[in-house]
Amino acid sequence: MKLRAKTAFVAAFAGMVLLALTASAACSDNDKKGASSGNADLDAIAQERGLTPEDMKHALQQFVPPGSHDEYVMFASGGHSGQVLVIGMPSMRILKVIAVFSPEPWQGYGYGADWGEQTLAEGNPTIPADTDLTWGDTHHPALSETGGEYDGRYLYINDRANGRVGMIDLRDFRTKQLVAVPNIQTSHGGMFVTPNSEYVHVSSKFPEPWPAGSYADLTEYQQKYRGASAWLKIDQATGRINLDESFEVELPPYTQDLADSGKKVSEGWGFIGSFNTEMATGGISEGGNSLEAGASRNNFDYLHAINWKKAEEVVKAGKAEKINGINVISLETAAAEGIFYLIPEPKSPHGIDVDPSGRYMVVGGKLDPHVTVYDFNKIKAAADAKDFEGQDAFGIPILKFDSVVAGQVEVGAGPLHTQFDSQGHGYTSLFLESAVAKFTLGDDVVKTGEAPFTLVDKIPVHYNIGHLAITEGDTVTPDDKYLVALNKWSIDRFLTVGPLHPQNFQLIDLKGGGTEKMEMIADMPIGVGEPHYTQIIKADKLKALDIYPAGTDPTTMTTSTNAIVAGEEKVERNGNTVEVWMSAQRSHFTPDILRVKEGDRVILHVTNIEQTKDATHGFAISQYNVQASLEPGETTNFDFIASKAGAYNFYCTEFCSALHLEMAGWLLVEPAGSAVAAP
Amino acid sequence: MKLRAKTAFVAAFAGMVLLALTASAACSDNDKKGASSGNADLDAIAQERGLTPEDMKHALQQFVPPGSHDEYVMFASGGHSGQVLVIGMPSMRILKVIAVFSPEPWQGYGYGADWGEQTLAEGNPTIPADTDLTWGDTHHPALSETGGEYDGRYLYINDRANGRVGMIDLRDFRTKQLVAVPNIQTSHGGMFVTPNSEYVHVSSKFPEPWPAGSYADLTEYQQKYRGASAWLKIDQATGRINLDESFEVELPPYTQDLADSGKKVSEGWGFIGSFNTEMATGGISEGGNSLEAGASRNNFDYLHAINWKKAEEVVKAGKAEKINGINVISLETAAAEGIFYLIPEPKSPHGIDVDPSGRYMVVGGKLDPHVTVYDFNKIKAAADAKDFEGQDAFGIPILKFDSVVAGQVEVGAGPLHTQFDSQGHGYTSLFLESAVAKFTLGDDVVKTGEAPFTLVDKIPVHYNIGHLAITEGDTVTPDDKYLVALNKWSIDRFLTVGPLHPQNFQLIDLKGGGTEKMEMIADMPIGVGEPHYTQIIKADKLKALDIYPAGTDPTTMTTSTNAIVAGEEKVERNGNTVEVWMSAQRSHFTPDILRVKEGDRVILHVTNIEQTKDATHGFAISQYNVQASLEPGETTNFDFIASKAGAYNFYCTEFCSALHLEMAGWLLVEPAGSAVAAP
C-alpha cells in the first residue's frame, strides 16, 4: 500500500485539468470528412451532415425511432433544482421532471391543490420551527428493492441542503411524502435502500449541535456536535416512511459522505464513508485554515460499518433514547453492542460502493490515485475477533487496515465513485483525470480470466466526472449494457447558453462487461439542475398507471370523499364559506361561474371525470396563484380566501381539445360593499 | 367560399380522433426486422436493435456526435411550468430551462439572491394589490428582430395566466424583467415583436371589467368588460420594456387570441384573431350554455387589424388617456383615426399568421376544414376606400370578407396555426386530424411551379398538434430545413411515466421546401410543462457570454458596487446589521465562518472571483431557504434576517472541484440571550 504525498498531488491538479482539456479539445476538433459505409442513402446523409463512420455507428446505437420505447429508465437527482429527472435510455430523452422539494406549477405541486400543499408542508422541519422550505438539493435516488433487485415500486431521494427525504410513488410518478429527518440538518450521499426495502438509509453530512435544536459554538465542535445515521422504516403498502419505527445511530462529528448497502454476504450492514476526521471547522478569516486544507491533513479517514440488523434488535430491547421524536442509539451503546466499527480509508475518501456479490467494498480516496478494495469477510472476521488497532476519540473500535483490505488498484487521478458489472469489474470515475477506469475485483467474481485487482481499461469523459451509473447498477445483477458518466462540467461540448453551462451525461457502451474496450456513444446536456446520482432500471419493471380510477385522491391513492360524477356538481354556502364540487371534462367546467364575496373562504373540489388516457385538464385562476393538474380520474381540492374583489378568469391549462380555449369560467368576487352573493 | 354546417362537424370530432389514433397505432406497430444497408457494422447494430432502413436514415438525420454542436436553437415556452426551454436542433436535446415566472433554485432565481427576488417582485401586479405570483403560463416566445430577422439579443414571453410579459437577456440567458401589463388580466397568443423590435406586442385573452381594477357583473359584459392590445416599447440597449413609452388600444370584449406582426408590405400593422364575438359568458349552472357552445354560434368572428404606426402618432398627438399608468387609445379614437379595422374570419378562428412577404395572412378556423388566406394589399385598399360592410357594436368598421380574401384551401380537420417556408408554402397544424398540411399561397410567392392555394402534402403527427414551427420561421427569410410539430398528446408514444403524460415534439424534415414530401425524423418527449409555441434561430446568431466580466451584477449587466477581488473580503457590523463581502473560489468561501446574533439583519455580497469557463459556484444556507448560482465573475447580494438560532452549514452547491465537498462554512446564529457576537 502506497500513499503519495498530498502536497505534490494537490499541486498537480491544475496541470492535469489543463492537460485533459487540451487533449479533449483536440479530439472534438477531428476532421469529419463524411463517411463511406457502402450504402448510398446513408452515405449521402453522413456526407451532408459531416458524420464519420464512427458517428454513424453511434447514431444507430442511440436512436430510438419515432413511437418506439426506450429500454431503460434512468432516475436522476436534479441537484439543486430540488427535483428528479426521468430519462429514457439509450435515447437520453427526458420523459418527466418530477417535482419533489420545489413547487412546480405544471404538475400543480404547491400552487393551491392540497396534494402538493400538504406534501410540501409535511416536509418543513419542526426544528427550527419557522422554516418554510421551498427547495432542496436532491442527491441520491434510491429505488425500492426486493431481493436486492429494483422492484419499480417507490423512489426515495435526499435533500442535501436541509437533511430531508422525499418519497415518490412510481404508480403515478408523484411525490407523496417529504420527511424532515430528525437530528439531520444536511445529508449527502447517505441514501440507499436495504435489499428488501425494510429501510431507506440517510446519514448526516455536516454534524450539528447535539441534540439538534441546541446551540454550541465551533470551539465545542468535538464535544457538542454530532451526526446521525438514520434508518427510516418503509411501509410496504404505501411506500411511506414511518418515523415511529425508524431509528438512528449517533455519529462522531466527522463529515459523513457517501454510503452504500450491504447485500448478499454483507446483507444487514451499511457502510458510510467519512472525511474530516480531523474535525476541522474552517476559519480563514479568524486566523485558521480553510476547511479544504484542515480536513485534508490526515492520511486516513474512517469508513463506518454499521450492523443495522443488530441495531434493530438493540432498539427493540429498549436501549435507544427518543431524541426529537426518533429512537437514537448513542455512540456508547453502538460501541458496546458491536453495532459500529471504523475502518481506515485513505486520503479524503469520497465514494464507497459495494459490489453485486456483497463481498467487496470499493473506496475512492479523492487525493489518492488508488481505489482501495475491502473484503467483507475480513471485516466480519476482524470485528468478531476484536482485531482492533484502537478506538477513536468517541470509543468506536477501529479495525486494522491491513486486516481488511483485499487489494488496491492504481486507477488514476481523483477517483470518486465505483459501479460494477456482473463480470467482476469495477468502474471508477476519475474527477481530476476526467475518465472512467475499469478494473478487476477478486478472482472469485472475475469471469473474464483477467488478473484480479488490475486496471484493464480507461475511457476519457468530458469533463470532471462525479458519479457514474450502470444499467441496473446497484442491484445484485447489474446487466452490463450501458454506463452513464455524470460530468459536472461541459465547458465547450454544447452551444453556449450563457455563463451557467449545462452538465454533461455521457452514454457509454459497456460491450457486455467483457474484455472489449468501452465505447463513447453520445453526449446529453442537462440544463435543469446539477444531477448527482442516478439509478437505471429496466423499463419493463415499471408498471405506472395510465389514468387514475375515477375519483382518485393522489395523496392517498384511494377514492376521494369529494369525488363526483357528472350531474353531481353543486355549490353550498355556509356563512362565509362557499364549497364547490366541480367537474372538468372536454371542454367545460361545471359550474363555470362562481359567485363569492370578497373575504369569503372558498373550498373547491374539482374532479376530472374523464377516463381517457392523456385527457388531462388543468385548473388555474388568474391572479390567484392557483394552478392544478388534473389527470383523468383525479379529484383535487383547494382551500383559499377570495381576498381580492374582481372578475377573475379561470381556465383549463392543458390543451385538451379543439375547444380548449373555450374551457374557461369566471370567479366573480364581489366587493365587500355589495349585497351578499347567492351561492 | 364554403362554410360547412357546424353541428355535423362537431359530431365528427370523436370519430376522427379515434380514426387517427387507430391508424397511428397501426403505424407504430410495424414489423422491424432489422435493416440491410449493405454495411456490415451498421447492419449488425440495426439488426440487434430492430431498426428498419428508414430508422437508420432518421438516426443519421438527427444524431449530433459527442462534442459537436447543434445547428439551431429552439426557444420553447414551457407552458404552465412558467419557464422557457432551450433546445438544440436537430438533436432535440434540452440545453437549458430558463426560469421566468416560477422560482427555480438551480439558477438561484427567487431563493434569496437579489437578481431573482427583484425580478419576480417587479412582476407582481399592482391591481389587485395583494397578489404575490410565483408561477406563469408561458405561451408565445418572441425573439427580438432587426430588419425582420431574428437578431439573437432578447427573448420575450407572455404569461397567459396573469397577463404578464418576461424579458430574457440572451447575453446570459437570464430573465431580467417581468412586467405586469396594465389592463391585461390574461393574455394568450398576442406576443410578437415588430420587425425592428420597436415594440413587443401582447393582447388580452379574456376581457375584464374596465378600467382594470373595477368590478362589474357578467350581466354587464358588453357594456363594461374590455380587452387591450398593448404595444410595449423596447429599450434597445437593455431589452427592457419601458411602460412610459408604451401604449394600448382598447378592444371590444371579444376573446382575443393569436396575433402576428405585419412585415415588409404590411410592416406597421399587427393582426389579432378573435373568437366569442357572441360575447357569451358561460353559465351552465345558471341555466345558460357553456362557453364552448355559446362562443361557437356565429359563422364569423373578427380578425383585428391594427395600424400601430398610426396609433403611435395618435399617442404622440395627445389623443390617448392614461389608464393604470399606460397610454390607452379608446375604441372611439381608434375607429375615428383609422387605427383599427375588423375583418370577418370563419368559424371560431385560432391562428393568424403572416407570410414572409408580408402580403398574406392565414387564418385557421378550428371548426372549418379550410384555411382562409387574406391579402394585405386588398385589406389596405378596402380600408383606404372605406369599403365596409358596417361596424360592430363598438363602432369599429368591418371590412367586407369577399373584398379582402385571396383564397381558401381545404386542408383538413381542425386547422390551427400556419408557418411558411421561403418557397411560397404554408404549413398548417390540424388538431383534430393530427396532421400537418402543406399548401401553396398566391402565385407571386410560389417558386415551385405548383398551382396557387392548393393542398400539396400532408403528414400525420402524434397526436393533437397545436403549434408548429419552422427553422427561422417567423422571419422574412425562413430557411426551409426543419419543422417541429408541438403535439399536445403523446398517449402511447413513450414509456408510461404516470397519468400525466409528456407532450411530443416531432422533428420533420422539410426537404428544402420543394415538392418532395415531408419526412418524420424523430419524437421528443417534453416532460416539463406543456410548451405552446417555439421560435427557432440559427445557432450562430446567438452570442452568449461564457463567463461574466469580473464583478458583474447580472441584474444590470454592469460592475456591481459590491464586487470584490481576493483580499478585499470583510465583515462590518452596524447595530443589528451585519454586512459581509465574501469571495468564492475553488474550494473555499472567505470568510467561511459568519457569527451573528439571532434577529440580526444579514447583508451578504458574494463574488465568484474566478474567470474560468464553467467554474460556477453555488451558495446555499441550510434550513434558510437561501440558494444562489454564482457564475464566474458574478456578484450576488442577499438580505435576510437571521431569525433562527443555531449553527447552520453553508456550502457550494455546484460540484466545482475535487475538494468541492470541503467548500463549506458556518453561519453561527447565537441565541438572543448570549453576549453580542463580534463582527
CB A393 within 8 A of CB A410: no
Give φ, ψ of B158 to 5 degrees.
-100, 155
Summarised one tens digit per residue, pLDDT across range A200-234 is: 999 999 999 999 999 999 999 999 999 999 999 99
The gap from C-alpha A383 to its chain's centroid, in whole angstroms, comes to 32
Check CB contact under 8 Å for B172 and A498.
Answer: yes
Please, which pLDDT band fits residue B33 given cuts at 50, 70 and 90?
A: very low
Beta bridge partners of A640: A602
The span from the CA of B289 to the CA of B279, in Å, is 12
Which of B172, B243, B125 lies closest to B555 in space, CA to CA? B172
CB A553 within 8 A of CB A560: yes
Q: Touching check for A650 and chain B: CB below 8 Å?
A: no
Which of A615, A662, A329 lies closest to B349 in space, CA to CA? A662
Beta bridge partners of A617: A630
**What is the CATH code of the structural domain delimited by A552-670?**
2.60.40.420
Q: Touching check for A679 and chain B: CB below 8 Å?
A: no
Q: Across residues B435-458, what is the average pLDDT?
A: 98
pLDDT of A129 reads 73
The gap from C-alpha A367 to its chain's centroid, in whole angstroms, comes to 25
The span from the CA of A409 to the CA of A369, in Å, is 8
The span from the CA of B32 to the CA of B270, in Å, is 50
The span from the CA of A364 to the CA of A351, in Å, is 5
Q: Touching check for B205 and chain A: CB below 8 Å?
A: yes
Chain A: residue whose CA lies nearest to B104 = A81
Q: Touching check for A276 and chain B: CB below 8 Å?
A: yes
Mutate to test the interface with B, among A75, A85, A292, A585 (most CBs of B within 10 A): A292
Q: How many CB pairs under 8 A join A and B?
A: 564
Q: Across residues A404-431, what is the average pLDDT?
A: 97
Check CB contact under 8 Å for A523 and B66.
Answer: yes
Q: Three-class SS of residue B23?
A: helix
Q: Touching check for B157 and chain A: CB below 8 Å?
A: no
Q: Which three cell numbers stand for residue A484?
A: 452513464
Q: Touching check for A348 and chain B: CB below 8 Å?
A: yes
Provide the chain B residues 383-422 that lie in CB contact (below 8 A) with chain A.
414
Q: Across residues B19-42, what is the average pLDDT?
A: 51
Please, which pLDDT band fits residue B36 given cuts at 50, 70 and 90?
A: low
Domain ranges of chain B: 3-62, 72-101+136-541, 552-670
Chain B contact set for A53 (CB, 8 A): 41
Considering only CA atoms, give the Rg of chain A: 27
Tell me how many degrees the CA angle A661-A663-A669 measures, rounded to the nearest 5: 115
Q: Across residues B116-133, what is the average pLDDT?
A: 89
Q: Touching check for B324 and chain A: CB below 8 Å?
A: no
pLDDT of A675 reads 55
Q: Across residues A332-339, what is the average pLDDT?
A: 98
Among A51-65, A516-530, A661-675, B483-497, the range scoring the smallest mean pLDDT is: A661-675
Q: Is the complex ipTM more than 0.90? A: yes
Give φ, ψ of B308 to 5 degrees.
-75, -25
Cα–Cα distance list, A55 to A361, A453, A491, B62, B502 (Å):
37, 33, 21, 11, 29
Domain A72-101+136-541 in CATH 3.20.20.70:
no
Check CB contact under 8 Å for B620 and A649.
Answer: no
Q: Touching check for B65 and chain A: CB below 8 Å?
A: yes
Q: Across residues A130-148, what is the average pLDDT?
A: 95
Q: Across residues B157-168, what is the average pLDDT?
A: 97
Which of A653, A607, A647, A603 lies closest to A627 in space, CA to CA? A653
pLDDT of B528 reads 95
Q: The pTM is what?
A: 0.95
Summarised one tens digit per residue, pLDDT across range B488-527 is: 999 999 999 999 999 999 999 999 999 999 999 999 999 9
Handedness of CA B133, B139, B144, B146 (dihedral sign): negative
The span from the CA of A145 to the CA of B24, in Å, is 37
The span from the CA of B453 to the CA of A150, in Å, is 58
Residue whose entry in the numeric block shows the C-alpha cell 399587427: B270
CB B123 within 8 A of CB B179: yes
Chain A contact set for B134 (CB, 8 A): 103, 111, 625
Please, which pLDDT band fits residue B31 given cuts at 50, 70 and 90?
A: very low
Give φ, ψ of A37 to 5 degrees.
-100, -10
Provide the chain A residues 541-600 that lie in CB contact (below 8 A) with chain B.
542, 544-548, 569, 571, 587-588, 590-593
Of B66, B125, B527, Cβ closest to residue A94? B527
Summarised one tens digit per residue, pLDDT across range B212-249 is: 999 999 999 999 999 999 999 999 999 999 999 999 99
The gap from C-alpha A520 to its chain's centroid, in whole angstroms, comes to 25
**E strands in A55-169:** 72-77, 84-89, 93-98, 142-146, 149-159, 164-169
Check CB contact under 8 Å for A646 and B135.
Answer: no
Check CB contact under 8 Å for B42 and A49.
Answer: no
